[in-house]
Amino acid sequence: MGLDRRRLKTLFYLRGRLTLRQFSRERGRIANALFVILLVLPLVVGAAVATGVGYLRLPDQWPAELLGVVLTAIWLIWLIFPIVVSSLNEGLDITRLLVYPLPRRELVASVLLGTLFDYPTYLMLPLFVAVLVGWGGGLALPVVLLALLLSYAHAVLIGQWVITAVGGILQSRRFRDLAIVVASLLGASCYFLQVGFTRLVDNVTAAVTEEQIRAFSPLATLQWLPTGAAARAIERATAGQWGESFFWLGYSTILLFIIAWGWWQLLMRLTTGEGFLFSLPPRPEKQKKTAASIINWRLFFTWLPADVAQLALKELRSVWRTPNRRIGILQMLIMPLIMAGALIFNGDISAELPPWIGIALPIYALLNFWALTQNMLGWEGSGLPALMATPVPRQRIFLAKGLALTAAVSVPYLVVSAIIVALAPNWQSLVGALTGLVMGVAGMAVTAVFSVRFPMRINVESKQMRGGRAGGGCQASLASLLLLPPIFGLVTLPLVILLALAFWRDLPWLGLIGVILGGVYAGAVFWFGAQYAGRLLLQREAEVIAVLQQPQDE
């Protein structure tokens, strides 16, 4: 192909150094990568085993149909993920290499080879091994290897093509906000999607005859897609139809060169200043009223000192203007409706809710307070040094943040609690709702201290959809996953014990006393937690700012 091995080796070495720098500068990525691998790899391995058995055991035309579905699904994942989540393969930034006298074929080859340093690439490996086991046992092995190589190249290039083609839209804040909303709704609606898909399959299965199932051939359509053509080439080679197999290999190769050429042309358009192929027009600046301004929160903070009131108002505006935090508030309202809808859909809920439904409210409150109040300082983003430069006692910063976050979480929480109390009008529901609120306030003492002791950087100013991704030290990531939840629960344990005794003994007066004592306990714990976090911040101010500052390459 006319590639210079020395230059290609240099580009490959450069990609490896950049990958190593990512994990060395943000060691929290190591924990995140391990978490993804431990979560996703068993699913991929299970799918590989299932497809491998299918290739060997399925009758008639179904092994080939399954092969086409698997290779096309891999291609579609690499096509869709850059739009709805983030790119699975990042590769080198070609725009920075165009100043060097490098042939375009070597730049494209460096992109393909550089993806070997991205761990999502290896999630394809078990599925490819299953294809080798199922189809590579005879003379068709060279065709299988070449088809898998083409499928891998197609997956990588289509992801790069999408990013380059619609990068202007992907980097738009409006698209990011919309994508976060859609992804959150889809994630919260997984149960309904599963039920709907199951019913659809049942209805289709009931309506389709056995002859129609035997005649069904998705590969007849998928073969015109890049990786579907590779699957057809493997199927034809296994059947001994070498002419047709080479035809489909050539067709897939031509599509690969067309996509690579189109990607290169789009890249040239971007680097020469013409912009992305698709971009959203700039929106004229106009003054908007946010939810934090529509609700006059100043009326709720008039009793506070002026500096604490202003910091609390600033935090409320930040909660609403940051998409990831705003979606967290909205999800607090969506999740109970999703759960209630699931029960109604299954017919498992009666007209009258049981008394123990009040126990769910403290659990609901703890989850929401834990999710929305952790990493308080990380959400300041690049504005943290300016906040630290103000002559405000550090303890008051955490007091203001705690009050603002309590107000933000309380709005959806009290709405859900009011619905529960209306559906189950008993003392258990009322006591459970109030206890959950004070438990969340007590837990914020822990999140305030953890935000100073284990800060995690969040690029809140990024236009990418993964802008809310936390980064930083591996120690901070592990502490957030392993230490924060148990300590959060330990601080609220006295309130849990009082609530459990009141429910167990059916003593309304004990529940009322528990709420009153719990309010005093929660206020005291939060006060001392804010004081300690403030003193700790005075000692670690420089370290916290250094951890939370944005790298130059973001």
Local structure of residue 225 (DSSP, 8 states): S
Radius of gyration of the chain measured on its C-alpha atoms:
28
Contact call for residues 508 and 431 (beta carbons, < 8 A): yes
Contact call for residues 158 and 75 (beta carbons, < 8 A): yes
- The residue with tokens 């714990």 is 525
Beta pairing, strands 457-458 & 470-471:
antiparallel
Contacts of 250 (CB under 8 A, 6+ apart): none
The list of the chain residues with pLDDT below 50 reads: 276-280, 285-294, 344-345, 348-350, 463-470, 552-554
Per-residue pLDDT at 476: 77
Residues 2-57: tens digit of each pLDDT? 677 888 888 888 888 887 777 777 666 677 777 777 878 888 899 999 999 999 88
- Rounded Cα–Cα distance for residues 424 and 470 (Å): 40
Per-residue pLDDT at 180: 59
For residue 538, what are its two tokens?
Answer: 């005075």
Contact call for residues 179 and 82 (beta carbons, < 8 A): no
Q: How far is CA 41 from the centre of its chain?
A: 17
Residues 267-279: tens digit of each pLDDT? 776 666 555 444 4
Contacts by residues 492-500 (CB-CB < 8 Å, ≥ 24 positions apart): 492/366, 492/439, 492/442, 492/443, 494/518, 494/521, 495/362, 495/435, 495/438, 495/439, 495/442, 495/521, 495/522, 496/362, 496/439, 498/435, 499/359, 499/362, 499/431, 499/432, 499/435
Per-residue pLDDT at 87: 57
Q: How far is CA 497 from the centre of its chain?
A: 35
Contact call for residues 125 and 99 (beta carbons, < 8 A): no
Helix residue ranges per DSSP H, 424-492: 427-453, 474-478, 484-491
Q: Measure Cα distances from 311 to 62, 295, 385, 526 in Å.
A: 63, 16, 15, 17
- Rounded Cα–Cα distance for residues 210 and 237 (Å): 28
Q: Per-residue b/e over 69-98, b at no fewer than 16 CB within 10 Å?
A: bbbbebbebbeebbbeebbbbbbbebeeee
Contacts of 304 (CB under 8 A, 6+ apart): 312, 400, 403
Q: Would you list the DSSP string of 482-551?
A: IIHHHHHHHHTHHHHHHHHHHHHHT-HHHHHHHHHHHHHHHHHHHHHHHHHHHHHHHHHHHHHHHHHSPP
For residue 408, what are its two tokens?
Answer: 């933000």
Q: Would you list the DSSP string of 38-98?
A: HHHHHHHHHHHHHHHHHHHH--TTHHHHHHHHHHHHHHHHHHHHHHHS--S-----GGGTT
Instruction: Supply the angle between the helices 141-165 and 104-114 in degrees, to the nearest 10.
Output: 100
Per-residue pLDDT at 234: 92
Instruction: Supply the angle between the helices 484-491 and 493-505 in degrees, to the nearest 10.
Output: 50
Per-residue pLDDT at 150: 92
